[in-house]
Each structure stands twice: as structure tokens, then as C-alpha cells.
Amino acid sequence: MALMDIYPTALRLLGRPVLVVGGGKVAARRAKGLLDAGALVTVVAPDAVDAVRQLADSGLLRWEPREYRTQDLETPWFVQTATGVAVVDAKVSAEAEERRIWCVNASDHENSAAWTPAVASVADVKIAVNAGADPRRAMAVRDAVAAALDEGSLPLRHHRRASTKGTVALVGGGPGDPGLMTVHARRLLAEADVVVADRLGPRSVLDDLPEGVRVIEVGKTPGHHPVPQDEINRILVREALAGNRVVRLKGGDPYVLGRGGEELAFCREHDVDVQVVSGVTSAISVPAAAGIPVTHRGLATGFSVVTGHDELGNLPARPDHTVILLMGVKSLARSMATLAASGLPADTPVAIVERGYAADQRVTISTAEGIASRAAEVGVENPAVIVVGDVVRLSPYAPEHLRVTPNLSSTVPVSSPGSYLAPGTPR
């Protein structure tokens, strides 16, 4: 049988009787697939593997422990032979053909009336691949297509809907590098009708959206909110109630100082289905881009994440407890003064990482006493993450006098490019 002789189609077997002749491993796999499709499965075989017996014991299928009989073809809509005995499979296949019942003959691929493709499901997409008489090739192609769909690199957007009810996904896009987005996030973007986008996060993915996807810009900068949060909430609900799949693409993680909880509550109040997809928070990932772990054995066993607008007086003001400030450039001097008043030593190292993961990422390092003047001198701007604590000593950009103590020096690169990374300097 040539591949050109195959007419691909999909069978709806929900609630319909089907027959599996054989009780081995192949029969068990085929029976399981038919059950997944909602078929009423009967297995006929003198003996059966444990998988078939367990399905029968649980009431999911009926097992007739006997040889095949012609009368078994009186009710099924579809037949699968898998006895492993060519003569038996050929008899079942021929008698099914006489009765115009589609039959897959596992013993004779070339003369089988139907073929079983390699199948996988991603979201509500089912992939079925035939590759002639080469099932391993079919499985390899199937797996590659499934992986591409799963990571959102193939189009998943709906163009015909069974329902007009829309949804909202609050998606954490991470610190800006598309490679740090989750697979689930990329898949949801591939399915989106509308993307409500922040100023930060992986902006480059917007260029790859399918034609026809609307992007609504709601980006904020410190002290400037052209689209207030209340209006963002209304946009999400409005677009979902219009039947759209809405992705709220946020930088970092929606639940880390991202107001995701407010957006979720507003959607639920208006009976809109909403889900939250966690992202890589910039509070941890951006310091890592500058070679700074937020905890490190012997230096820090805990950390706190706050905005620069928050009161810092209640935080542990110790070099061995890392403090991470988001959106804190404008209030940097005041924040350092607050920490100093709480007991933070003046020589505690502080790093400011601007535009983490971007081509022009810049790292500025000084002490708690000197960081504000140093930041003013080099013109530090948002977006930036500020890291306070001894973990900064591990950064390859730390100047020699702030480097880690000798007993931990094996964890630090031999050379250091200094306290200031100019724009465009390779990391």
C-alpha cells in the first residue's frame, strides 16, 4: 500500500462499540487509545497481559477470554487485530472487509484496510503522523511536531471556536530574555487573540505574534502610569467577554510585585476564566545575570524583596541577609540611609544591575555608603535591580577591595572587569 492511497481522517468513536482481537502488549496499547477516545472496547483473546486484565477488572473494557469468532463482528464499528498470529489476524481482517467494517491488521501492514498513526496531543490539538511502513520515523516526526507546538514555535491560535467565551492568562514573561520564558507561556502566546503588554519583559516576542493578533500597550514607568491599573483590569475583562483569548504579558512574575493578584480578582469578579503562569522573577534572575546569587553558603542564607517605595526599617539590616530593591533607583539614597539607620555597615557592598539580560546591560558596584553618589555619577536609570549584601562580593564585576574573603575565593572567577560595566561591554 502506497502512502498516496491513504485518506487521512479522524474517527469519532465516543460511545461506539469496537473490537480488539488479541491480548498482548500491542493490543493493550491500542485498547487504551480507543478507551481514551471514548469507545466501548471489547477484547477477545484466550489470554491477556496484565495491562488488559487491569482495565477489565476496573470495568473500563470487557475481556472475553476465548478465541475469536465470526459473530464478534456483529456489533463493532471498528476492529483492531493484534494477536501476533498472522493467520488469525488475516481471518479477522477479511471477515471485517466483507462486512464493510474498518479494520487495522497489525500483522499485515501492507494489506491492512486502515493504519494507526503515531499520535500525540498538545492542548486541544491532536497530531497524527503516518510515515509509510516506518513507525519509528512516524514517532520521531510526531514528537518533533509536538515539541514545537508545546513550546509555542508553531501557530496555535484558534480561527474557529465552539464557544464564544474568552479567557485571560496572566503570564510572567521573565526579565526580558525570551529564552527564560516558560514553555506554557510561549504556548499561550501562540494561542492568543489579544496581548496586553507591559513595558518590561520579553518585548521581542511581540514581533513573532501571528498576523491579526492585537497588542494593547499598557506599560508603566516609575511615577508615570499612562494606563492606570483599574483601566488595565477593565481591558482584560472587556476583551475576554468579547470572546478573545487574552494574554496579559508581564515582566518577571505576576505575583512578585506585579499586581497579578488584583487582575486575577477583577477577572473572577466578572466571571472570566483566568489562570496565572509563573515567570522567572527579575528579583532573582537579574542579579544572576551579573554573577550574583541571592543566597550563598557562608555569605547569606536568606533574602528579602521589596520595592524602593517601601519602608525598609523592619528588614534585617545585615550583610548576611540579602536585600533586593525593585523600582528603587529614584529613592536609592533614602533607602540606603534607612538601612544604615537600622544598623547596616557602611562598607556593605551594593550592586545595581540595569537592563538585565539586554545587550546593553550595565552593572555598577560600590558600598552602601557610596552607591548613591556612584549611581548619580554614572547616570543609573530604570529598569534596574539593586542588590544589597555580601553576596555582591561574588560578582565578577566587583572591584578587588570588595571581593569575597579568601576562604570562598574558589567560587569567583580569577579576573574581574571592575565595578562598572559600560554599555556594550561583553558579559
- Are 15 and 41 spatial neighbours (Cβ–Cβ below 8 Å)? no
Q: Which three cell numbers stand for residue 97?
A: 472487509
Catalytic hit among 198, 253, 310, 390: 198
Q: Which three cell numbers stand for residue 328?
A: 528603587
- Give the Cα separation of 100 and 102 in Å (integer): 6
- Give the Cα separation of 364 and 419 in Å (integer): 6
Q: Indicate if 126 belongs to the active site.
A: no
Is 1 in a helix, a strand, or coil? coil
236, 295, 298: which is closest to 265 by C-alpha?
Answer: 236
Q: Indicate if 220 belongs to the active site.
A: yes
104, 129, 124, 125: which is closest to 34 by C-alpha?
Answer: 104
251, 155, 169, 151: which is closest to 209 by C-alpha?
Answer: 155
DSSP secondary structure code for residue 374 in this structure: H
Helix axes 183-191, 135-150, angle to 10 degrees: 80
373-390 burial string, b = 16+ CB within 10 Å, else e? ebbeeeebebbbbbbbbb
Catalytic hit among 177, 220, 320, 330: 220
What single string gives the DSSP state of each residue in 80-116? EE--S-HHHHHHHHHHHHHTT-EEEETT-TTT-SS-P
First to last CA, the chain: 58
What single string gives the DSSP state of each residue in 393-427? GGSTTS-GGGSPPGGGGGGS-S----SB--TT---
- How far does Cα 148 stand from its chain's mean position? 12
- Give the Cα separation of 211 and 214 in Å (integer): 9
Sequence-distant (6+) residues with CB within 8 A of 397 are 290, 291, 351, 363, 365, 416, 417, 418, 419, 420, 421
Q: Which residues pair with 126 in a beta bridge?
A: 121
Q: Which residues form the catalytic set?
A: 198, 220
